[in-house]
Amino acid sequence: MKINQKKVKLKINPTQKHWVGDGFHVYTMFHPAGDMYIHTTPFVMMDFAPPKHFPPTDQKLGVGEHPHRGFETVTFAFAGEVEHRDSAGGGGIIGTGDVQWMTAASGLVHEEFHSREFAKRGGDFEMVQLWVNLPKKDKFTKPRYQGVKARQCPLLNPVDGVSLKVFSGDYAGARGPCETFTPINIYDLRFEKKAKFKFEVDDGTTLIILNRKGETIINDEVIKEHEIAVFDRKGEEVFIECEDMAELLILNGEPIDEPIVAYGPFVMNTREEIMDAINDFNAGKMGTLVETYK
Ligand code: MN
């Protein structure tokens, strides 16, 4: 182990999936229980729905109207299509390789379903939903919706047999299209064959790697399929070895070292702000979807 390597601090490999609504069968890879947020900040929560076949249906599969405040929900579609609509006027459909970056901030309600087309057709579905915290100063900024297509993201081949797609932040000067409030680099990294790949992140930043498919060795630790590695903030270098093929999601961000109180769909800094969020939602201040129905 070299002195500057980032050390794997935790490996998490949940065994139990649960349903989010009736469309998303997910492993919660991490959430802010205990002191977990200290290791994952600015990322609050990750749900991973591994590949699953859905037969054709006329039903709407997913989650109906519900609120969020104080953070961003980021949805990556790896297979299948997700349709979204929110009370701030944002909405759209994302398909394979696309990402939807929704800033809830001051508060909104939204719904998340398999797209009607995809549900009718049926097929394999795989996605990740990540909750990204906002610093205290930005929690009451106005909501924003970014629907980003795969083709808008730089796709690089840093070494033979390895591809790297930049969703946000940058890699070797290639900038991802998703705009963020704090510095965040998110990459889709794929090995097509036996290969080694090395990259660096800034010292003091959070790094989390999800092995969506395949097995890798990262800084001397074996990371299995459907497992995440959470790294120590110290260090910069990351060495990934793959014997065969693998698909990884790489999350790197500057920590937001502020206290958080997370309750249901709200992520705030104090208990009082959570109470305000509940009251504001109940009073209809986060809007409704009826107003935005065409
Ligand atoms: Mn939601």
CA 66 – ligand 1 centroid, Å: 6
Average pLDDT over every residue of 42-58: 98
CA 269 – ligand 1 centroid, Å: 19
Secondary structure element (H or E) that encloses residue 120, with its range: helix 116-121
Place of tokens 């906002």: 134
Say yes or no to pLDDT of 291 above 60.
no
CA 230 – ligand 1 centroid, Å: 24
CA atoms of 113 and 21, how far apart (whole Å): 9
CA 239 – ligand 1 centroid, Å: 34
Average pLDDT over every residue of 166-183: 98
Say yes or no to pLDDT of 289 above 60.
yes
Of 129, 75, 256, 105, give the one whose Cα is nearest residue 183: 256
Say yes or no to pLDDT of 54 above 90.
yes
Say yes or no to pLDDT of 182 above 80.
yes
Say yes or no to pLDDT of 294 above 60.
no
List, for residues 2-12, the tens digit of each pLDDT value.
679 999 999 99
C-alpha triplet 259, 226, 195: angle, nearest 5°: 110
235 three-class SS: coil
List, for residues 89-108, the tens digit of each pLDDT value.
999 999 999 999 999 999 99
Secondary structure element (H or E) that encloses residue 199, with its range: strand 195-200
CA 173 – ligand 1 centroid, Å: 32
Q: Does the CA dihedral 16-17-19-22 come out positive or negative?
A: negative
